Structures are given as structure tokens and as C-alpha cells.
Amino acid sequence: MSVVLIENVHKSFGPIEVLKGVSLTVERGQVVALIGRSGSGKSTLLRCMNGLEPFQSGRIEVAGHVVDRDDKHLRDLRKDVGIVFQSYNLFPHLTVAQNIMLSPRITKGLKTAEAKALAEKVLSQVGLAEKFDAYPDNLSGGQQQRVAIARSLAMQPRLMLFDEVTSALDPELTGEVLAVMEQLARDGMTMVLVTHEMEFARKVADLTVFMHQGKIWESGPSRAILSTPTTPELQSFVGANIK
């Protein structure tokens, strides 16, 4: 069953076309890594999936929702799709638990006790049960990113999107965030991630999609495509990571 269906999507910023007829299908339980140089269109494609960026033509359907500019449709879409960015976007004046409980209470009408139990569950999932009452400023960058993941999980999404979530972290903190994402993959979460972590893509992603000049240039099973890329552009991109 397809969770994401993208058909011939074109997206421009002014006169600059950044997506040039992109088509992609993501099946339930699949992990898809989007890789490519800066400006290749991968983050724009991810943001189009969640309705954060409007696109000019083509069609996107995510978790049974057709992505368009209708406000109600977008609200319904975002109940089923979680997205985590490079910046954690946590409210500094709220505790970790309060950050996580906010959306379920507002958008799903959960009572305080239900939201609290849900926050405890998702914090345990990301290995931060003991940080329930902590404030974001007292956490490391890796811990804040894991809270951001927990906040998305609290909405019980059918799809998780990750946009370069480790690019601002040092290697040790990167490892702890990737470990959480790897566990989510093992648990069957459907995920699309923009990443420069080639080893993580090779190990965890079922499908790797290399974007270049606004198009899907090469795609295939992760181990195969990253070990033996067939295009000069992907060969150049993975460089020393080829094993």
C-alpha cells in the first residue's frame, strides 16, 4: 500500500525551477533516503509532501490525503504526517512534556491525563523518559532533537519526514539521534529522510533516491546504489563512501 504518491511534480521559486517533473512512490513501512547536493531539490520535495511548499503542477497524495492549498485539507494531512527539521523548534518556556503534549491536546482534544501518558510513552521510545520535566535549554542538542522526534511521534503519524536532522550535531550526538531513527525503522514506521549520512542510508533505508538538478537522477535499493552507482554524478557524490 502506497503512503506517498508523487506524480510529475514541478516546483519553481520565481523563475528558478527546483523540481522538474519528479515522481516517487513510498510504500507502507518503507524507509526512503533522499540524497544529493545542496540545491538539488531534495528538501523542497520533502516540504511539498507536507504542504509546507506549494507546487505548480503535478500531484501528491500522502497518507490518503491529496496535498493542495485548502487549509482544512492541510490540517488533516498534518495530523497524519510528522516532520522533524534541523532546528528543533522547541518552546523554551515549556518543559519537555509540555512541548510534546501541546499538539495532541489542541488538535486531537486529548485530556491532560491521556496526553501525559502519551508523552511518557514517546519519551521512553526515544530514550529520554527521565527528561519529562526538564526544559529544552538544559538538554544537549542531540537530546533536543530526540524530543522533537518524540513530539512528532505523539501525533501517531502514518509517515515521518526528516530534513537533515543531524546536520547541526557533532558525531556523538548524531549517533544517538540516528539510533532512534533506526529503531523507528525496525518498528515499521514509514519514513522519508533527507540526509548526508551515507552509511545510515546504506544500513537503514530500503530505497535511496539521488536527486540532481531538480530531478531523480538515480534510485534503487540502498546498498546496491551506494556501493555501485551507475551515473558519474552519483559516483562523484558518494566519493569516498563507496565500499
Across residues 107-124, what is the average pLDDT?
A: 94
Q: 100 to each of 55, 106, 112, 143, 151, how far by Cα in Å?
A: 30, 11, 12, 14, 4
Sorting pLDDT into bands at 50, 70 and 90, what band is 183?
very high
Residue 152 near residue 84 (C-beta atoms within 8 A): yes
pLDDT tens digits for 59-93? 999 999 999 999 999 999 999 999 999 888 899 99
> Given a cut of 50, is residue 240 above it in pLDDT?
no
Distance CA 212, CA 42 (A): 9
> Top-level CATH class of 2-241?
alpha beta
- Name the β-bridge partners of 24: 6
H helices, E strands: number in the chain: 9, 10
> Given a cut of 60, is residue 41 above it in pLDDT?
yes
Please give the grid coordinates belonging to residue 157. 503519524
Dihedral of CA atoms 122, 127, 132, 134 in degrees, nearest 10, equals -140
Query: Helix (H, G, I), strand (E, B), or coil: what is residue 170?
Result: coil
Q: How far apart, in Å, do the first and last CA atoms of the chain sit?
A: 33
**Model pTM?**
0.94
Across residues 99-111, what is the average pLDDT?
A: 93
> Given a cut of 60, is residue 242 above it in pLDDT?
no
Residue 108, pLDDT score: 87
